[in-house]
Amino acid sequence: MDGSKQIPGMCITVLLLSVKCKEVSSREKCQESKSLRPTISVKKMDRVLCPGEHGEENGSVMEHKTIPWQIFPVLSDQQSQGVELVLAYAVPILDKKKTSRLVKEISAVYPLEGQQHLKRVRACTDKASPHPLEMLICLAKPGKEKAEGLHTLSELLPDKQVDCCGLGEPFLVHVPAHPPLTRMQFEEAKFHWPTAFHEDKYVTSALTGHLFSKEEKVKMQTYMKQAIWAAQQGAEKGMKAIGAVVVDPATEAVLAVGHDCRSSSNPLLHATMVCIDLVAQGQGRGTYNFKSHPACSVSSLGNRDPSASKAIRAGTVRKFESRDNGLPYICTGYELYITSEPCVMCAMALVHSRIQRVFYGTASPDGALGTKYKIHTRQDLNHRFEVFRGILEDQCCSLIKDS
Amino acid sequence: MRLLRAGKQRPSRIRSPVCPPSGSSPGNSSCGPLTFRCPLSSAWLPACACSAALVSRASSCGSGMEETTTAAVAARGVSVSAEEREAWMEKAMHMAKEALENGEVPVGCLMVYNNEVLAKGRNEVNQTKNATRHAEMVAIDQVLEWCHHCGRTPTEVFEHTVLYVTVEPCIMCAAALRLMKIPLVVYGCQNERFGGCGSVLDIASADLPNTGTPFKCIPGYRAEEAVEMLKTFYKQENPNAPKSKVRKKEGHKC
Residue B11 lies in a domain: no
Task: Note the residue count of chain B.
Answer: 254
* Chain mean pLDDT for chain A: 78
CA nearest B95: which of B55, B145, B36? B36
Q: How many domains does chain B have?
A: 1
Q: Supply the pTM of this predicted model.
A: 0.73
Domain architecture of chain A: domains with CATH: 85-177 (3.30.70), 214-302+325-402 (3.40.140.10)
Tell which wins on pLDDT, A171 or B33. A171
- State residue B93 phi and psi, 5-degree precision: -65, -40
- CA dist B42 and B58 (Å) reads 28
How much is the pLDDT for A154?
A: 79
pLDDT score, position B42: 34
What's the one-letter identity of residue A143? G
- CATH code for the domain in which residue B94 is found: 3.40.140.10
Enclosing domain of residue B140: 82-233
A163 or B155: which leads in pLDDT: B155
Strand pairing category for A297-298 and A133-139: unpaired
Contacts of A312 (CB under 8 A, 6+ apart): A250, A251
Residue B82's pLDDT is 87
Cβ within 8 Å of residue A378, ≥6 positions away: A3, A384, B200
> Residue B67 catalytic?
no
Residues of B in contact with A279 (CB under 8 A): 129
A330: left (phi over 0), alpha (psi -120 to 50) or beta: left
pLDDT, greater one: B170 or B235: B170
Sorting pLDDT into bands at 50, 70 and 90, what band is A328? low
| pLDDT above 50: residue A63 | no
Q: For residue B72, tell me if it sits in a domain.
A: no
User: What is d(CA B60, CA B52) in angstroms, rounded to the nearest whole number?
Assistant: 19
CB-CB contact of A334 with A246 (8 Å): yes
The count of other CB atoms within 10 Å of the CB of residue A124 is: 14
Q: Which residues pair with A38 in a beta bridge?
A: none
CA proximity to B53, closest of B178, B197, B162: B197
In a domain, B6, yes or no: no
Residue A310 pLDDT exceeds 80: no
Give the closest residue to A166 by CA, choosing from A106, A99, A105.
A99
Across A137-147, average pLDDT: 76
Q: Given a cut of 50, is residue B242 above it in pLDDT?
A: no
Q: Which of A28-42, A129-143, B124-138, B200-214 has the lowest mean pLDDT?
A: A28-42
What are A332-357's pLDDT values in tens digits? 889 999 999 999 999 999 999 999 99
Q: Does residue B50 lie within any of the structural domains? A: no
Amino acid letter for position A115: Q
Half-sphere exposure of A362 (CA within 13 A, CB side): 18
Mean pLDDT value across chain B: 73
pLDDT at A283: 87
Nearest to B175 among A200, A265, A344 (CB): A344
Residue (of A291, A254, A290, A294) closest to A274 by Cα position: A290
pLDDT at residue A105, as a whole number: 87
Q: Helix, strand or coil for residue A110? A: coil
Out of B8, B193, B208, name the one closest to residue A366 (CB): B208
Could you give the CA distance from residue A87 to residue A138 in angstroms, rounded to a whole number? 9
Residue-level pLDDT at A378: 93
Per-residue model confidence (pLDDT) at position A243: 95
Query: B84, B124, B136, B192: which one is catalytic?
Result: B136
The Cα–Cα gap between B177 and B197 comes to: 11
| A192 close contact with B: CB closer than 8 A | no
**Chain B contact for A320 (CB, 8 A cutoff):** yes
Burial A205-230 (b: 16+ CB within 10 A, else e): bbbbbebbeeeebbbbbbbbbbbbeb
Chain A residues touching B179 at Cβ < 8 A = 267-268, 345
**How many A×B Cβ pairs under 8 Å?**
172
Whether residue A348 and residue B148 make contact (CB cut-off 8 A), yes or no, is: no
Does residue B212 fall inside a structural domain? yes
